[in-house]
Amino acid sequence: MNLKTEYMGLSLKNPLVPSASPLSETVDGIRRMQDAGAAAIVMFSIFEEQIQHDEKALDHLLSAGSESFPEAMSYFPDLGEYQVGPNQYIQLIGEAVQAVDIPIIGSLNGVSHEGWIDYAKQIEQAGAKGIELNAYYIPTDPTLNGEQVETMYIDVLKAVKKAVRIPVAIKLSPFFSAMANMATRLDAAGADALVLFNRFYQPDFDLDHLEVVPNLDLSTSAEMRLPLLWIAVLCGKINASMAATTGVHTGEDIAKYLLAGADAVMTTSALLQHGVGHIATLLNELMAWMESKEYESVEQMKGAMSQQSVANPAAFERANYIKALEEYKTQYDA
């Protein structure tokens, strides 16, 4: 059985790629994922804002109160060079590249033009085989219109593409008025892959303390419908390859995404829940399913159920919605 796939110009031994998560924070974690069967690793994301914050905090707190009281010119010893900013991240990529054979894909979340370009270059220099732009922007400014927001994405992508030679993927949110059009614009701007979709940071309320708190739940299989829809719709309409992310918990989930047209399938939640060993389980389940359906290769599966391929393309549009409701009724009213 041939699980090989091409994703963002990289040859992968199978379509399963662990996406950004704390599992990639150590070389050991990365090695264990490779050993369990991962075809490539998307590193955890480096956040430009976080870096700025950390650097400023370090500088501020190390120098607070210094040079102002005659008995204490400072409050800390000078430890020379500090590994701040992207240094530790870049170093980790370098070490990971040495430690494993599978491609390492850097992941980056920037806020400024400079940040995107600087860090992307450094990721490339460290030996990453690709970069995933984690375009994570919440347009809370009411004066920004959709066109402006879309242009920001396009500009960032173009800038990074210009700055590096390695392939660049862009991870998107589903919240565009015209998702298909947006995808083709990114495709035209040179994206080597689209990663669908980013799960937005949606803060929660702490009712005990009446505070807004960050909260991120692990995904469930039910959440894969939205990416599934759009991968199926976009399959064959863009040149960029596509990775599916969100909701992959079983080998069958992988199969669905491949059938929709994904070139790679990413998972995090399942690995955080079940451990790194679950990669092997997922692959085994995928192979078992393929065997049962007599698929010989992943290539054969890719896009088999995309909008272009299915007998009734309208099934992905409004009709599909109506059909789902009807089925729902008949199923339970019978």
Chain residues that interact with another protein, rule: CB under 8 A: 51-52, 54-85, 88, 118, 210-212
Complex with another protein: residue 47 or 197, whichever CB lies closer: 47
- Cα(221)–Cα(198) distance, rounded to whole angstroms? 15
- Cα(90)–Cα(107) distance, rounded to whole angstroms? 11
Q: Is the peptide bond before 176 cis (omega within 30 degrees of 0)?
A: no
CB-CB contact of 282 with 16 (8 Å): yes
Complex with another protein: residue 116 or 316, whichever CB lies closer: 116
| CA 36 to chain centroid | 20
Q: At what angle do helices 113-125 and 48-63 cross, to 10 degrees?
A: 100
Q: How many Å from the N-terminal Cα to the C-terminal Cα in the chain? A: 41
| CA 324 to chain centroid | 29
CB-CB contact of 235 with 241 (8 Å): no
**Shortest gap between Cβ of 271 and another protein (angstroms)?**
22
Complex with another protein: residue 68 or 292, whichever CB lies closer: 68
Complex with another protein: residue 29 or 261, whichever CB lies closer: 29
CB-CB contact of 40 with 284 (8 Å): no
**Shortest gap between Cβ of 98 and another protein (angstroms)?**
17
- Give the three-state DSSP class for 37: coil
Complex with another protein: residue 64 or 178, whichever CB lies closer: 64
- Cα(202)–Cα(175) distance, rounded to whole angstroms? 13
**Shortest gap between Cβ of 28 and another protein (angstroms)?**
12
DSSP string, 174-223: S--TTHHHHHHHHHHTT-SEEEE-------EEETTTTEEE---PPP-GGG
Complex with another protein: residue 86 or 227, whichever CB lies closer: 86
**Shortest gap between Cβ of 207 and another protein (angstroms)?**
11
Residue matched to tokens 């963002």: 8
- Cα(126)–Cα(106) distance, rounded to whole angstroms? 10
- Cα(108)–Cα(159) distance, rounded to whole angstroms? 14
Complex with another protein: residue 67 or 294, whichever CB lies closer: 67
Complex with another protein: residue 72 or 322, whichever CB lies closer: 72
Complex with another protein: residue 58 or 216, whichever CB lies closer: 58
**Shortest gap between Cβ of 82 and another protein (angstroms)?**
4
**Shortest gap between Cβ of 43 and another protein (angstroms)?**
17
**Shortest gap between Cβ of 52 and another protein (angstroms)?**
5
**Shortest gap between Cβ of 142 and another protein (angstroms)?**
21
**Shortest gap between Cβ of 87 and another protein (angstroms)?**
8
Q: How many residues are there in the chain?
A: 334
Q: Is the dihedral of CA 219, 14, 43, 263 positive or negative?
A: negative
